[in-house]
Structure 1
Amino acid sequence: MKKRLISVLSMLLAIVLLAACGKSATPNASNSTAGAGTGNGQAKTYKVAYIARAQSDSFAAWLANAVKEEAKKYPNITLDVFDGEANDEKENSMIENAITNKYNLVIVQPNNGEAQRPYVEKVVKAGIFAITTNARISGIEGASSVDANPYEQAGVNARAAIEQIPQNAKVVVLKGPSGNFHADERRASWQKEFFDKRPDVKIVGEQIANWNKDEAMKYMEDWVQANDKIDAVISMNDNMAAGAIEVVKDNAKFKDMLVYGVDGTAEALLLIQEGKMTSTCMQSAYDLATKLLDTSNKLLTGAEKQIDTDIGNPLVNKENVQQYIDVLKKAGAIK
């Protein structure tokens, strides 16, 4: 009788234990189907490809590094960075490879927006999240964007230059790649906000230097030989502006030359501090990276379906440059 009672009690205990196990398994199963887990209790991770325009471009390199650092804050995201080397075919091939390798999300920093447009459209059609940045490619249904306002980036410089550039000045203009949204919008802004209002100013040289410092130096060398005086360099980015400054750094005839850029790179901030550059517009790679990873996370986890957002466009000049230098020092970008 005693043995029989022990046997019954053992069976009842086993039933209770099985019921308890069944209840504890239910939440895990629910989380897995919701996409928050992998089915074994671990958080789901997502593969993100970041395709940079060109690591040789100082701003593009800064942005790529900022994206890498920001991605470390997201344990659910695995980031791979690729260098498009300022080559449309190479960048387009990298986008196609990202589709083939089944990345969950692809971030594209276009070399030439219209050249990359059909390939970003392929990303969306493949059911993969797409974000375009610096510069955005507008009008792709289903794609998101994180960018700045390039018209206003140039505009803050151009409006200041109205009072700074002397009467009957001779100026040169360094442009970014034709067809690039930022390059075209910045040049349009300078036209409307400055040149249309200052018909006395003469453009004695204007060339596409493709955001590249070396190309800008070559054009500046030609312009210096052809002109006894250049009152201002109007550049669509800091990298080209720095190239122009390098050419005339030891030439006393150009010591009062005004120089304008966009990006707020470490080099540009130091040139402003030294009095060799007039102003730039801060296009913070850190702010872009923060928004890029936040946007990626929201899309991947289903919090949002599409996001289009911009960062600010503050003017940086000798009056406020130190605060921006301090930010880059804190981040390790300036020693």
Structure 2
Amino acid sequence: MKTLSRKMLAFGVAAAAAVSLVGCAVTTGNPTGGDAGSSEDKDEYRVAYIARAQADSFAAWLANEMRAEADNYDDITLEVFDGQADDEIENSMIENAIANRFDAIIVQANNADAQLPYIQQAIDAGIVVITTNPRVEGLTGGNSVDADPYEQGAVVAELALEEIPEGANVVVLDGPAGNFHSTARRTAWQEVFFDERPDVTIVAEDIANWNKDEALTLMEDWSLANPDIDAIISMNDNMAAGALEAVPGEGVLAYGVDGTPEATLLIQDGVMTATSLQNAQELAQLNMEAVHSLLTGETDEVNVDIGNPVITIDNAAEYVQLYIDAGLIAE
């Protein structure tokens, strides 16, 4: 694990530096930059990206990639905001982006139900709006760039059917309540794995809010109460990595989603079992392509999904190399 820590230092520093997210203060900007709805006639567009939380490793990676991809567009200025995994803060940021007349707002919702009315306000104000990671359902208008969270969970759950031993005791780590990705991934695990494996017992399950530290605390308690845990089933990699820190060297199987740099290293080292990749680079590319085409009038609506390849010990080196090339893992 010392090797992992050294390698991940580059990822942590890069994420923290590149994702120097704006806090909860109102973005001042130029209020005379143009009225909402007239963006097609402009030479430069101001886009607000409201990220879920810098403490979430995937959200930090995605924000990093969004900034990098925005640099490829001479007519787009991207400002990034940290929602701090707090619904009130994120909702306030959406309101601030409307008040400050951003041409477009890209929202990574913390809680889709909580953010929905505020996102709808932006749409109703004539602002180009994209929801991403997760897509927010129930909006009238709006656009989305996302992955299929059910499939992300299903492809990993299919592996677990053969890998988790008969009569196993498992624990389950869930994302925030009401989060589309967390709910869909958990549904996939239920339908693909648990319904097919009644011999498996869930000895503990709780929400860890995508957070590594929360997952670590839960796993410390669970492992004391249940010394024979065979597998960790997590709705994201960050929580899986935290849970594994509570049971080092015990050979517990661990499944996640996201394919983060940390997870790929853990899988390559035989510590974590499998994940499915949610490629932040691809999400960022599609988001910036979408917002640019919407702002310039090239298209009227965008709703697209990225793929979800599985990462195991057999192919982890390929993805580790991807992160090395991206500067997110040190060689």
Of the three residues 262, 266, 277, the one matched with 1:282 is 277
Q: How many residues align?
A: 293
Say whether 1:94 aligns with 2:93: yes
Cα deviation, 1:74-117, whole Å, max 9, x if unaligned, reads 00100000000000000000000000000000000000001000
Counterpart residue identity of residue 73, structure 1: N
What TM-score do the two structures reach when normalised by structure 2? 0.87
Distance in 1, Cα, partners of 2:226 & 2:95: 47
Displacement of 1:246: 0.6
Counterparts of residues 39-54 of structure 1 (less than 5 Å)? 44-54=43-53
Change in CA separation of 1:49 and 1:168 when aligned onto 2, cut-off 3 Å: same
Question: Structure with the greater relative contact order (CA < 8 A, sep ≥ 6): 1 or 2?
Answer: 2
Of the three residues 316, 324, 330, the one matched with 1:329 is 324
Any stretches of 5+ residues in structure 2 without a counterpart?
A: 1-37
Counterparts of residues 129-144 of structure 1 (less than 5 Å)? 129-144=128-143
Counterpart residue identity of residue 268, structure 1: A
Any stretches of 5+ residues in structure 1 without a counterpart?
A: 1-33, 39-43
Q: Which residue of structure 2 lines up, in the alignment, with residue 111 of structure 1?
A: 110
Distance in 2, Cα, partners of 1:72 & 1:101: 22
Q: Which residue of structure 2 lines up, in the alignment, with residue 268 of structure 1?
A: 263
Cα deviation, 1:175-212, whole Å, max 9, x if unaligned, reads 00110000000000000000000000000010000000
Displacement of 1:127: 0.6
- SS of the counterpart of 1:310? strand
Displacement of 1:141: 2.1
Counterpart residue identity of residue 135, structure 2: R
Q: Which residue of structure 1 lines up, in the alignment, with residue 237 of structure 2?
A: 238
Distance in 1, Cα, partners of 2:91 & 2:206: 26
Say whether 1:309 aligns with 2:309: no
Contact 2:106 2:130 in 1 (8 A): yes
Counterparts of residues 121-270 of structure 1 (less than 5 Å)? 121-250=120-249, 254-255=250-251, 257-270=252-265
Say whether 1:294 aligns with 2:293: no
- SS of the counterpart of 1:313? coil
Distance in 2, Cα, partners of 1:139 & 1:173: 28
Displacement of 1:228: 2.0
Sequence identity percentage: 56
What TM-score do the two structures reach when normalised by structure 1? 0.86
Query: More helix by proportion, 1 or 2?
Result: 1
Distance in 2, Cα, partners of 1:194 & 1:142: 35
List, as ranges, runs of 4+ consecutive aligned residues in structure 1 with deviation greater than 3 Å: 34-38
Q: Which structure has the greater CA radius of gyration?
A: 1
Displacement of 1:36: 7.0
Displacement of 1:142: 1.8
Change in CA separation of 1:35 and 1:196 when aligned onto 2, cut-off 3 Å: closer
Change in CA separation of 1:217 and 1:299 when aligned onto 2, cut-off 3 Å: same
